[in-house]
Amino acid sequence: MPSAGIMKRNRYFDSIFLMRIAAQISNQPGIDEVAVLMGTEKNKQILADMGLLDQTISSAGPNDLMVALRGEHDGTIEAVLSGLEDLLVLTPLNAGAPTTRTLEAALEIKPDINLAVISVPGEHAAAEARRALERGLNVFLFSGNVSPEEELTLKELARDRGLIVMGPDCGTAIVAGVGLGFANVVRRGPIGVIGASGTGLQEFTSLVHQSGQGISHALGTGGRDLSDAIGGISALTALAALEADPETRVIALVSKPPGAKTLQRLMPELDRCRKPIITCFIGHDDPLTGIESQLAAALTVDEAASLAVQAVTGAPPNLPGVDARTRHELIASEKAGMSATQKYIRGIFAGGTFNYQAQHLLRQAGLVAHSNAPIEGILKLSDPDLSTEHTLVDMGSESFTDGRPHPMIDPTLRKERILREAEDPEVAVLLLDFVLGYNASEDPVGDLVEEIREAKAMVGGRGGRLTVVASVCGTDGDPQDLGYQCKTLAEAGVVLMPSSAQAVAFSLALTSSREE
């Protein structure tokens, strides 16, 4: 199969933009594989591992753009490369903004800014974050590949200067109503939230919006912040900021369980907080005790959103749900069409938090499960591409995204995985998530719906029934049109649940009596 590459000297673009370009190219007919990356040494090694590094792009430097692809015919590849400039044109949203190439130039244009968004190759991210902090700017660090040692140094510098570093690898934040990274369109309101992961913040803020309430700020910390290596520096800074914010009445903290030492450091600060707090440490089975400010400890993201809304309104929240009778009828209907061999759940997640939460719920149910990114008590897959028994896969993990766009942008690997899982006669349930909002795919359900129909038809053709259970994380304000996304899933025969946790609970109920 032919391949080719092209290099654009001194054409720097951030990683989110490049992921979107790669997704657009991969969707073109006849294209088998594509990588759109800046010319760092790590990225050149990725291309070499893919067999796509040729002499045309091997001399690329960190500020040079590399585009490499493999396709069915030379003509197909040439057509894509010849139209590359059209794809690289900035969107109208960005085209009207002043364009600068240095932080200093940006500060001359906007001297009152206090936040820098950093999305550069990982080997340069820490240096750029330090430069921003030294100039008095808070940092939203979308970039990954920052070492724990670098992260600790940056966060100590930020703390000493009264600033915050959100990240590294911070997927989502909402600051004063402005979404950063992957964020949803939500109304302003009295609920503040601190989150270590992107999709956890996205679902929490979306569910709060759907309840009729709103978000003051949603502050990301990065996935390692509450580890003992970092000590919760950004989480503590965010807690102090939300406590001081007059618009915030209730604070939620959504994260994986903190490290033991970090938890001991965090608890006194939670206890001293003058505002009510909801904690949701996903995977932490025992609620925290001895914290006067803590209203409750939630076990799932939707439970945390429900408690936060109730704390503000004083009444049970109007969060979406499925009534018990409808749920019972759905379970009976889906079970009736399954063959005797079907008994396993296969989760194919774009959101890392949803994968983590699903593992926790299966573990609570006493099931043996496998994952490429396992929590304690879950078995690690020997090969992330091969499922076995109950399997929950984070398709956004590094093994799937090195040299490729995130699955929230590019559905290619999830498409392949859906069809591969349907070939297994023991699979009863496919568990999927769909994430709307800024920077996500323009039509996440449309990207996968044909594969969903094909998978269901494949299983039906051999006398079984494949139940596809899904949740959609988003709001009525998101550009992808939440109503349209849900309607498309329903028309494809998908069982739609209002949250990821409820989708897992339905899947467990459906398979509980089928496993020997």
Of residues 220 and 3, which shows the higher confidence score? 220
Which pair of structure tokens corresponds to residue 339?
Answer: 């063959």
Q: Give the pLDDT confidence of 167-185 residue by residue, as tens digits.
A: 999 999 999 999 999 999 9
Give the pLDDT confidence score for residue 91 in this predicted structure: 47
Do β-strands 165-166 and 138-141 pair in parallel, antiparallel, or remain unpaired?
A: parallel
Q: Give the pLDDT confidence of 437-457 residue by residue, as tens digits.
A: 999 999 999 999 999 999 999
Q: 297 pLDDT band (50/70/90 cuts)?
A: confident
Nearest to 223 by CA among 352, 392, 116, 129: 352
Give the pLDDT confidence score for residue 93 in this predicted structure: 44
The strands making up 250-255's β-sheet, listed across from edge to edge, are 178-181, 172-175, 215-220, 188-195, 250-255, 277-281, 294-297
Most confident range (mean pLDDT) of 16-20, 203-207, 280-284, 404-408 is 203-207
Give the pLDDT confidence score for residue 92 in this predicted structure: 44
Cβ neighbourhood burial of 152 (10 Å; 0-12, 13-18, 19+): middle
In the predicted model, is pLDDT for residue 299 greater than 70?
yes
Strand stretches in 97-231, DSSP E: 115-118, 138-141, 165-166, 172-175, 178-181, 188-195, 215-220
Q: DSSP of 245-300, one letter per residue? A: -TT--EEEEEESPPPHHHHHHHHHHHHH-SS-EEEEETT--SPP-S-TTEEEE-SS
As a whole number of angstroms, the distance between CA 179 and CA 199 comes to 13
Percentage of the residues of the chain whose pLDDT score is greater than 70: 95
Nearest to 181 by CA among 214, 220, 234: 220
Q: Give the pLDDT confidence of 63-104 residue by residue, as tens digits.
A: 889 998 898 888 888 888 888 888 887 544 444 556 677 788
As a whole number of angstroms, the distance between CA 288 and CA 282 comes to 12
Mean pLDDT for 205-213 is 95
**Average pLDDT score over the chain:** 90
In the predicted model, is pLDDT for residue 489 greater than 90?
yes
In the predicted model, is pLDDT for residue 14 greater than 60?
yes
Handedness of CA 113, 115, 120, 125 (dihedral sign): positive
Q: What's 70's DSSP letter?
A: E
Sole residue written with tokens 């090195």: 402
Mean pLDDT for 294-316 is 89
Nearest to 252 by CA among 238, 262, 264: 238
Mean pLDDT for 462-488 is 97
In the predicted model, is pLDDT for residue 290 greater than 80?
no
- Residue 122 burial (CB count, 10 A): 18
Cα-based torsion angle of the residue sequence 289, 291, 294, 299 in order, rounded to the nearest 10 degrees: -30
Give the pLDDT confidence score for residue 90 in this predicted structure: 54
Structural domains in the chain, CATH included, are 3-90 (3.30.70), 103-313 (3.40.50.261), 324-511 (3.40.50.261)
- Of 21-35, 126-140, 166-180, least confident by mean pLDDT is 21-35
Q: Give the pLDDT confidence of 331-354 residue by residue, as tens digits.
A: 999 999 999 999 999 999 999 999
Helix (H) or strand (E) holding 75: helix 74-82
Q: 293 pLDDT band (50/70/90 cuts)?
A: low
Q: 295 pLDDT band (50/70/90 cuts)?
A: low
Q: 514 pLDDT band (50/70/90 cuts)?
A: low
Give the pLDDT confidence score for residue 48 in this predicted structure: 87
